[in-house]
Amino acid sequence: MSRLGKKPIKIPKEVQIQMTESVLKIKGPKGEVEYQIPRAIKIEKNEDELQLLSSRKRKEERINFGLARATLANIVKGVSRGFKKRLELFGVGYTMLLEGDDLKLTLGYSHPIKLKKPEGIEIEIKKNEILILGVDRQKVGQFAASIRDLRRAEPYKGKGFKYYDEIIRRKVGKAALKAEGEATGK
């Protein structure tokens, strides 16, 4: 049995939870999410916490026990505080523009790239930064990763998208290596 699954989930005061037999509705200041409860898992609601219980008979049930607890904890955190990912764009001529529900990017390709904003996601653009906000941790992370994959920051000049806290290991180019070799007499 999963050790993570045994831990109770703390519920903040601003979050309301409605339980039916197979669906959990979680509502908070940032939004509302419905969660389909897996068949082998029972949920007990106390005053300020949720406790998951498992029948623990089959391997699949034991695997889903920890996953269900982690997913529910992320939903509770998402509806109360929300999730965000911040990306930075570096490069001459690279631009980002928000046109309605579309994100228009010019990244040095022969054509501009348009991305449709997923449902439940908010986008804020400031100069060379893009902030992706939402209730669903998976959607926020997936959309940020799809933007970053369009033009990852490369190690020579650092051009492209990188996460705010990501460190790009810079490399020295061939010309610098050749000049260094001539200076040392090799």
Closest CA to 75 of 117, 32, 18, 122: 32
Query: Selecting from 3.90.930.12, 3.10.20.600, 3.40.50.12160, 1.10.3720.10, what CATH number does the domain 83-163 have?
Result: 3.90.930.12
- Tallying the residues shown for the chain, one arrives at 186
What is the tens place of the pLDDT at every residue in 99-150? 989 999 999 999 999 999 999 999 999 989 999 999 999 999 999 999 999 9
Q: Which CATH superfamily is domain 3-80 in?
A: Ribosomal protein L6 (3.90.930.12)
Question: Can you give the residue ranges of every domain in the chain?
Answer: 3-80, 83-163
Q: What's the CA gap between 28 and 80, in Å, rounded?
A: 5
Cβ-based burial of 109 (10 A; exposed 0-12, middle 13-18, buried ≥19): exposed
What is the tens place of the pLDDT at every residue in 64-76? 888 889 999 999 9
| pLDDT confidence of residue 104 | 94
Task: Write out the H or E segment, with its range, that includes residue 131.
Answer: strand 129-134
Q: Do domains 3-80 and 83-163 have the same CATH topology?
A: yes
Q: What's the CA gap between 5 and 62, in Å, rounded?
A: 9
What is the tens place of the pLDDT at every residue in 33-60? 999 988 888 888 888 888 888 876 777 7
| Residues 75 and 9 sit within 8 Å (Cβ to Cβ) | no
Whole-model pTM: value is 0.85
